[in-house]
Chain A
Amino acid sequence: MDAPPPPVSEPTFLDPHELIENSQPAPRTGGLWYVVGGFFFVVMISAYAGNQSPELQTAVRLLGGVTMIGLLMAMSVFTWITVGRQREEQRRLESLEELVQLRRWPEAAMMLQELLSKPTRSPQARVQGLVYLTVVLARYHRYADTITVQEHLLDNIDMDPGTQYALQLGRAMSMLQQDHLVDANQAIRDLHRVENSGESAGLALIEIYRDVKTGHPGEAIEMFDSKLALLRKQLGHRVADAWALVAKAYDMVGREESARQAYMNATLLAPIAEISRKYSEVASLTGKYQPAIAPAE
């Protein structure tokens, strides 16, 4: 009797470890150096043969010339193919960015799975893909996986300060969502040490969320009032998140009129379902306060 086949584990969709591993760019084959080496080889052979046997000089030079033309043509074809592939990858990254902006999450997830399941053409494309992966994973509330990717990027990749700061902000937010409050506090302290962090609306939003989550509504309201201009300028429509969180803070301290107005402002800018999906704490306000109603088409 045949033994039953071993259980096959179901492949995980958007498995961060797998995608981090598989997306490592393949080492360069050094095709250019082979061509340069070939070039030098032809030059040396040509010079040597010419000196050794003047009778063969013409034949050797002819052969050298033909080889050189062949090498140049090979290099041109190789460059053309490589550039074409890199452009295709760049186009896919641009499409991904648009899908994320348009909040078309299932399509973005599918595209990321495909892009990062095999070696990317360049390290920059991999980093960009992994950054988008953190956004998509957070959208699906897979915060532990989000933190895994963010920590991989922060620990292993040398990034520009702006991207690094944005990733640190994202990680702190994911930690809060995961209720890892000690880690989140440490992450917020680290963010405060970065130059000009006082001018970061992202950091202000995270602190408002922390204060609402940990039952410090007074501090959340104070932070919101002092940073409103910054939040508005830097977050654009995402300032709805801050309005919703401050509505919750007002509600917690019993300032219902302010809560009502803040809730109205939040729902003017974004649908309440979208905000509640991000911050479960805000869901309790649904039904208690009237949301803004968009006019009919």
Chain B
Amino acid sequence: MLSSASAISIFRRDMLLGTLLRIVMLAAATACMAMNFLPTARSTDGTLLLLGVGMLWLALSYRSVKSQRLAAESTSLIATGQLEEAERQIEEALGSFSLFRATKMLTLHHLALLRHAQKRWQDAADLSRVLLKQRLGTIQSLARPNRLLLADSLLELNDVHGAYLALADLYRERLSLGEATNLLLIQLDYESRLGSWETMLPRGAAYKRVQLTELMPAASSARAQAFLALAAKKSGRDDWADWLRARAELLADPLTLMKDRPVLSELWPAKT
């Protein structure tokens, strides 16, 4: 299994190599064009040389696309729990050359996703941090899911302040529905650690939050509603607490919920 340090080192090396190669090829192309305008370079046909540079660019682009496909396939493998196969594909994609920065950054993002799925929180956080320091350019939309991934990993590592810093920027951005549901779950986890019970289930806007949890996958929805039930209990809203707890029980086993988040044990005292 590729360590995060090795992956980051390969990523940095390839990014540098890719940038150098792009500069060299651009300089070569410019030189080829210039040959047609310089009277001193009459013996060489710049257009013909430019054709050679173009062919080389096409060949390298083809390799990059292959590497991009490998990395892209890994997301569905992670989603379906085929983590070993995803690991193999990502390693292959990371090891193969790519002319484009975006391909390498996507591959690193997929590796972070894989480490998160494997519950290797420190690795996931390290990889996400490296990615967030890059200039994302055309794949700027990657920043938001990456921030969410970093915040979640840091919460798992009990780094509440780090999670806050990762989340802070997200409130200024327009999120997709999927990102908004992810953010809600992480935010509830974060707020429960701070004991902000009233904020977790705001009066007058509680249903809005509950409706958002209904769009989550079963396990996430159960955890989110259990957090909301706990917030209701702590705020003295017993009707809400009972209703939300019963819903959470229908979506996941309370023992699993309590094992993952011991704070939820207060909801099921008889089972602890």
Binding site for B on A (CB under 8 A): 39-40, 42-43, 46-47, 50, 57-58, 61-62, 64-65, 68-69, 94, 97-98, 101-102, 160, 162, 232-237, 239, 243, 265, 268-269, 292, 294-297
Contacts and interface: CB of A to CB of B under 8 A. Distances in A.
Given A46-B45, A236-B221, 13 more contacts: A39-B51, A39-B54, A42-B47, A102-B177, A102-B215, A162-B76, A232-B250, A233-B219, A237-B214, A239-B250, A243-B250, A269-B247, A295-B237
Contact of A62 (B37, B54, B214, B252): B37
Contact of A268 (B237, B239, B247): B247
Given A102-B177, A295-B239, A297-B207, A65 B250 contact: no
Contact of A269 (B35, B42, B54, B250): B250
B137 interface: no
Given A43-B48, A295-B239, A237 B252 contact: no
A297 B204 CA distance: 6
B246 A268 contact: yes
Interface of B: 33, 35-37, 39, 42, 45-48, 50-51, 54, 76, 80, 176-177, 203-204, 206-207, 214-219, 221, 237, 239-240, 243, 246-247, 250-252
28 contacts: A57-B42, A58-B42, A61-B37, A64-B36, A65-B33, A65-B46, A69-B33, A97-B177, A101-B215, A102-B177, A102-B215, A162-B76, A162-B80, A232-B251, A233-B218, A233-B219, A236-B217, A236-B218, A237-B218, A237-B221, A243-B250, A269-B247, A269-B250, A295-B239, A295-B240, A295-B243, A297-B203, A297-B206
Given A43-B48, A47-B48, A294-B243, A236 B204 contact: no
B46 A98 contact: no
Given A98-B177, A102-B177, A68 B50 contact: yes
B47 A234 contact: no
Contacts of A43: 45, 47-48, 51
A180 to B, nearest CB: 31
A267 to B, nearest CB: 11
Contacts of B239: 295-296
Nearest to B243: A295
A20 B270 CA distance: 57
A137 B185 CA distance: 32
A46 B42 contact: no
A63 B256 CA distance: 73
Nearest to B39: A58
Contacts of B54: 39
Which 8 interchain pairs have the tightest Cβ spacing?
A65-B36, A295-B239, A61-B36, A98-B177, A236-B218, A237-B214, A64-B47, A46-B47
A232 B207 CA distance: 22
Nearest to B79: A162
A50 B36 CA distance: 12
B126 to A, nearest CB: 30
Contacts of A296: 239
B251 A61 contact: no
Nearest to B242: A295
Contacts of A57: 42
Contacts of A265: 250
Given A62-B36, A268-B243, A295-B243, A68 B250 contact: no
A239 B222 CA distance: 13
B251 A239 contact: yes
B221 A65 contact: no
Contacts of B33: 65, 68-69
Nearest to A243: B250
A269 to B, nearest CB: 6
Contacts of B247: 268-269
B176 A232 contact: no
A234 B203 CA distance: 31
Contacts of A46: 45, 47-48
B65 to A, nearest CB: 14
A219 B76 CA distance: 34
B115 to A, nearest CB: 23
A97 to B, nearest CB: 8
A9 B266 CA distance: 64
A47 B45 contact: yes
Contacts of B39: 58
Contacts of A65: 33, 36-37, 46-47
A292 to B, nearest CB: 7
A292 B42 CA distance: 88
A50 B45 contact: yes
A202 B46 CA distance: 63
Contact of A101 (B36, B42, B177, B218): B177
Contacts of A237: 214, 218, 221, 251
Q: Which of B76, B204, B243: most chain A Cβ within 10 A? A: B243
A65 B50 CA distance: 10
B250 A268 contact: yes
A199 B61 CA distance: 41
Contacts of A294: 207, 243
Contacts of B246: 268, 292
